[in-house]
Structure 1
Amino acid sequence: MLIAADLVWTGDRFERGLGVETAGSHLRALRPLAPGETPDRHAALIGPALSDLQVNGSGGVMLNSDPTPEAIAHIVATQRARGTGWVMPTLITCEPERMRRAAKAAANAWGLPGFLGLHLEGPHLNPDRRGTHSAGPMGPLSDTTRAVVRDLRAQGIPVMVTLAPEIAGPEAVRDLADMGAVVSGGHSAATAEQTRAALAAGMSCFTHLYNAMPPMTSRGPGILGAAINSDAYAGIIADGHHVSWEMVALALRARPLPDRMFLVSDAMATIGGPDQFELYGEIIRLRDGALVNAAGALAGAHVDLVTSLRNMVTHVGVPLPEAYAMAALVPRDVMGLPRPGLREGQPLAEVLALDAALERLPLE
C-alpha cells in the first residue's frame, strides 16, 4: 500500500512530497512520489507513533492493581493499538511492597517493544493536593524509593519520579537526579521559592500542569507560576475536563522557551476496557467523558494521545506540527531519549498516520 502525506516526520524535520509504502505489518519504504503516481490513501501527517509518559492503566488493567510484567505488556499493547507506540506505565501512590513489585515487573518486562520505562507518581506528594491518590502512604523520600530508582537506573531503565518539592526537599531531588531519574514536580502546594529550589537541585519537569496545584494569585505564583515561568518541561492533560482550552493556550503562550510543553494522557483502565474500575477499594466510573470517584472528583483521564493531539489542534488552535511534537517528540526530550524517526522494516505499531480530520488512518 502506498500512502501519500502532506507532512512526514523523518527523524529530524518535516518533509513534503513523500510517500510511505507498507507491506503486511511493516513499513517497506519511505520515498518521494513519482510524477503521476496515484497513492492508495492520503494522510495529513505520517510520523513515528506517539510517546506517553503517564499511563496509569489501559485495557481494563491498572498497574497499581496488577504490578506484573503481563500487566505492563497488556497496557503497552492496548495503547499501541491506539497510536501510542511508546508507553511509560505509571504507578501512583502505594505502599513500599507494591512499588518493589512494580519495579521487579519493569525489570522483567524491559526490552518489550513500546515499553519506555516506569513513572513513579508518588508517594512523596502533598496530602492536601493528593487528588485521587491515597494519603496513607505519603511522606518524605524513602529508602524504598531510593533503592528502586537506583536499581532500575542501573539496568538502564528510564525512570520518572513525581514528587512535591515541599515534601521531598532539595536534597532528595538532588539524590534522585544524580541517580539519573527525571524528577517532576506535582501534587504539590509548594511556594515559588520552594519550586525554584527544587529546580536548582535538578528537578526538570512538572506533572499535569494546573492539576493538583493551587491556582496562582497576584502575590502568590506558587508552583504553577514558577513552573510556567521556568525552562523546565511540563506535561498537560488535553481532554477538556482537567484544564480548560483557554488555560492550555495561556500556558503555551507564556512559556519562555519552545518545545517545553508535552501531552500526557493520564489514562486509566477504561481506555480499551470497561467503563469502570476499582482503585484503592473505590469504584471509579466514566461519566460524560470524565472519570470520577464517588465524590464526583476527577480520577485520572479517559483519553488517548491521538485524541489529545487532535484536541490541541481543534480546540486550542495549535498548528499540527507543534501538536504532533508535543505528543511524539518532546516526551522523548524530557527523558533524554533520541527522537524517533521512520525506517524501512519498522513495525507499523511504531508508525502513525492521521487523516484530514486527524483521526488514525489504517496503514494495512
Structure 2
Amino acid sequence: MGLASQRQLIWLKFKEHRLAYWSGIVILLIYMVAVFAEFIAPRTPDHYDSAYAMLSPQAINLFYVDEAGSYRFEPHVTGFSSKRDPKTLRRIFAPDPAIRIPVGFFVRGETYNFWGLFPSNIHLIGPKDPSQPFYLLGSDRLGRDVLSRLVYGTRVSTSVGLIGVAISLVLGVFLGGISGYVGGVVDNAIQRVIEFIMSVPTIPLWMGLAAAIPVTWSPILVYFIITMIISLIGWTSLAREVRGRFMSWRNEVFVVAARLDGTSEMRIITRHLVPGFVSHIIASTTLAIPAMIIAETSLSFLGIGLRPPVVSWGVLLQEAQNIRSLAEAPWLLAPGFLVIITVLALNFLGDGLRDAADPYS
C-alpha cells in the first residue's frame, strides 16, 4: 500500500472536520446560485407589479382537496384576495384557498439573457401561468419579488468577496513577500504603509472614499471601484503573515542552496518559498471572504456603496431600514439571514482548511 500524498492527507483531515465539510457544501450551493442566478430566479430583478406590493410569502402546497373531498396531487401556491383598509387606505391581502396557482419546474416565464449572452425564458421554478402572482419570499413596496432579487444579489455580493480577496491576495503575497525577503529600507517602507492603513478607522475611510464616487458613474464602474476600495484596505493582515514566513525562511538551507545554484531571487520566491505555505494562504483567503462580503453589505446598507439599480444584499437590506418595514414586512430581512449563513459557513470552512493545512497536527 503506497503512502498518501500531501494533498490526500489534507483532504482526509478536512473530511474529519464535519462542520467545515458541510459548510463547504453550503458555500458551493450559494455560489452555484450566483452562477445560475438568471435560471434559478422565478422573475427578473426589475419586474414589478404594484397590485401585489408588500405581499406576504406564499408557501408551496403539494395537495388540494377537490369537490368530492379527495386529495389531489398538484404543486401550487394559494392565491390572494385584497381589500382597502377604510382608515389607512392600505391594501390588505388575505389568502384565498379557492384560488390555486399551479407551479412547476423548468417553466417558461420572463425572457432573460443568461450571463448576458444567451437569451432564454426557462426558469427553474415558477407559476405555469407567468401572469399569476408567485412570491415565495414575499414582495417589497414596489411589488418586486424578494426571492428573485435575493438570488441576483447573491451574484453581486459573493463576487465582490471573491474579486476583492483575489486582489488582496496578490497585494498581500507580493508586498509581504518583498518586505520579508528583502528587508532593510524596503521592509521599513512597506511596514510603515501597512501600519498607516491599519491605523485609519475603517468606516470613516470607506465613507470618504465611497462618497468621492460621482453619482453619474455607471453601476458597473461603481461596482469595480467599490471592489477596489475594499481590496486596498483588506490586504494588510495577509502581508504581515507572509512577511513573517519569508523572514523565517529566507536563510534556510534550501534557500541558500538555491541561491548558490544560481537561481534568481524571483524564482526562489515563487518556486521555493510561496508553495511552502500555499495551504495557509488558501485558509487565510477563505477567512477573508466573509470580511469582504460584510464590508460590501455594510457600505451598500448605509447608502455609500453599491446603489440601485445594482442588486446586492446590502442594497436589498435598505428596504428594511425603518420600523414600519420590519413590522409590516419582516420577510425583507431575508438578505440579512443569508449574509449570516454565508459568513458563518465561510468561517467554518476556513477553520477546517486551516486545520487540514497541517495534517500532521
Identify whether the pair has TM-score above 0.5, normalized to the shorter chain.
Answer: no
Normalising by structure 2, report the TM-score. Answer: 0.26
Please identify which structure carries the higher strand content: 1
**Largest Rg, 1 or 2:** 2
Please identify which structure carries the higher helix content: 2
